[in-house]
Amino acid sequence: MKNLQIVFGIAIFFFFLSCQPQQEGKRGTQQMPNILWLVAEDMSPNIPPFGDSTIQTPNLSRLAAEGVRYTNVYSVSGVCSPSRAAITTGMYPNSIGAHHMRTLYQQPAAREKGLINYECVPPAEVKMLSEIMRQNAYYCTNNRKEDYQFFPSKMAWDESSIYAHWRNRPEGKAFFSIFNFGVTHESNLWNPGYRHFDHDTFPPPRGKKNFWKGFENGAKPWAISDSLQLNIPPYLPNNDIVRKDVRRMYSNIAEMDKHVGMILNQLEKDGLLENTIIVWFTDHGGPLPRQKRLLYDAGIHVPMIIRYPHQKAAGTIDNQLISFIDFAPNLLSLIQVKPPDWMQGRPFSGQYKPDDSRSYIHAAADRFDETYDMIRAVRDHRFKYLKNFHADQPYYLPLAYRENMASMQELLRLRKENQLDSLQMLWFRETKPEEELFDTANDPHELHNLANDPNYTAKLIELRKECERWMNEIEDKGFIKEIDLIETFWPNKIQPITSNPIIKKKKNRIHISCLTEGASIGYKLAEDEKDGLGWRIYEKPLNMKDNQPLKVIAHRLGYAVSDTISIN
C-alpha cells in the first residue's frame, strides 16, 4: 500500500507539472522536476531516521519526516570507486571491468606489483547518467568527487568542480546537481587536518584557490558531546582507542548533517524546494574495520531518503530491495525517460517501474589497493550468501591505507597478543569457508555461518544458484587476471585515443561525426567560453553563421580525449 501511495503521489506531481506553462531557458525548457543528490561517504544507517539514536541529525531527520525512508538499499561493493561506477552507468562493476579498487590512482604498494594507472573501458554504448540527463535538457553539475574507474566523458557535466552549483545554470533550466560530503570518509578518522566549509558561503567564489585554508586547523573539532553513549559492534574491542574512532565517526556524521542543511537551506532560499526531488544516500557502508571493503551488511547496506515535491508520501518507509545499479534507470524513470536496454538495473519508482520487485541484490569484492581477493554476495530480504573464491587465504588482508586508523592498529596489536575474543578473531581466520550463509534478521553482524546447518540447505542452494546465474549473466570479469584485463582495455598498456571529430560544412550547416564507436561529440560556441559552460552535446547538424567560431571534441569512456578542433 505504501509503495502504491508513493507511485500515485509521483503521478499526481507530474500531472501538476504538465499543466504549468513552460519556462524558456537558454537551452531547453523546464518541464520536469529538478533533481538533487546529496551523497555522504563511508556510512552505514547510523542516524535516527534508521533506528540509531546515538546522535541527533536534525537536517536528515527533517528530510526523512518530509520524505520516504528506503531501508533495503545496497551498494554493489564495500568501497567507493566500483560503487560510483555502478551509480553512474547502471551496470555492475564486475561486468564492465570496474571492480578493482582502484584503477585510476594506484597506491604505492600496488604500483610495486606492476599495476599501472588505467581506465576501465565500458562497452561502446554505455554513457554516464549525467550525459543522458543533459541530452534530456538538464543542466548537470557535480561538486565534486568523481572516482568512476574512468575519467568522466567531456560531455558528462555542465560543470564538475568545487564551484559547481545549480545556481550557475541558465535561467529557467531544470537541473541535476550532486553534492558529495567527504567529511564522513574513512580517512577523516585519522587525518590531523580538518577541512570543512563555512555553511553560509559554500561554494567558494569561483576561481578562489586553496579555499579551505581559512577553515583548516591541526586539531579536529568535535561536533558531538563528550558524554556520548556508544554501542561498539561485537567484532571490535570495546576500549578507549576503538571508542575514540567510533566517536569520531559519529562526530563526522553530525558535521555532514550540517552540510546537508546548508544545501537544503540554499534550495529553499532559491524557491526550488517543491520543484525538486531530493535524494540523500551514502556511497557504501561504514568506515570502521570489518565494515568498509567487506560484503557484510556493514560494508554494503546504506541509508537512503528521498523527498518528493510537496512532501508526497511524507514519513513513509519503503522496504523493497534496491541496488546501486537501480539508481540510474530509476532517475530516468522519474523524469519519464525510458532507461536504455544496456543498463542492468531496474527502476524502483516512476513511470517505468516494473510490476514486480527485486528478489535479490548482488555485490562483489576483488582487489583493494595492493591486496587481491574475490568474493561474491547475494542477499534477499533476510539471508546473505557469500561465495569465497580464494578460501585458502585469510579474510583479513593487510592494507597500508586502512592501517592508518588507530582502531585497526589496535586490532592488530591485540591479535598479536592473543587478546581478541572468538568473535573478534573471525576476521583474522587463516582460511575462509568456501560458502557462508547468514540470517541477517537474527544475526545482523553476520557472525554465525549457517552454510553447514542442514536446516538451511534449501536456502543455501537457492542463493548459490542465484549467485551462479548472476555471474554468468553479466559475464563476471573477476575470473580474468587484472594484467590481462588491462591488456583488453589498453593493448600493450597504451591507452586508445578517441578519433578526431570529422567536420563537414554544407552551406551554413555543420555536420560532425567520429570514427570511434561509442564516442560522444561535444562543441562549444564563443558564448560558452565566456559563460564557463561545459561542452554541449552534439546530436544533429548545427546551423552556423558565417565565420562563427566553433570548437569540437570527441570522447569515448576509457579512451583518451580527441584533439580539440577549432573552426571559424
Q: Is the dihedral of CA 445, 450, 451, 456 positive or negative?
A: negative
Contact yes or no for 528/521 (Cβ under 8 A): no
CA–CA gap between residue 258 and residue 494 (Å, rounded): 45
Sheet containing 502-506: give its strands across: 502-506, 509-513, 542-543
Q: Is 162 exposed, middle or buried (0-12, 13-18, 19+ CB in 10 A)?
A: middle
Q: Report the SS3 class of residue 361.
A: strand
CA dist 42 → 77, 79, 284, 375 (Å): 11, 8, 6, 20
Residues contacting residue 551 through CB under 8 Å, at least 6 positions apart:
523, 524, 564, 565, 566
- 140: annotated active-site residue: no
Catalytic one of 19, 80, 120, 140: 80
Beta carbons of 54 and 254 less than 8 angstroms apart: no
CA distance 430 to 395: 7
Non-local (6+) Cβ contacts of 422 within 8 A are none
Calpha distance 536→284 (Å, rounded) = 32
Q: Helices (H) and strands (E) in the chain — how many of each?
A: 14, 22
With beta carbons less than 8 A apart as the criterion, state whether 71 and 212 touch.
Answer: no
Q: What is the DSSP string of 309-356?
A: GGGTTTTEEE---EEGGGHHHHHHHHTT-PPPTT-----SSSTT--SS
Strands 159-160 and 565-567: unpaired
3-state SS assignment for residue 179: strand
Stated as kind and residue range, the H or E segment containing 362 is strand 361-365
The residues carrying an active-site annotation are 80
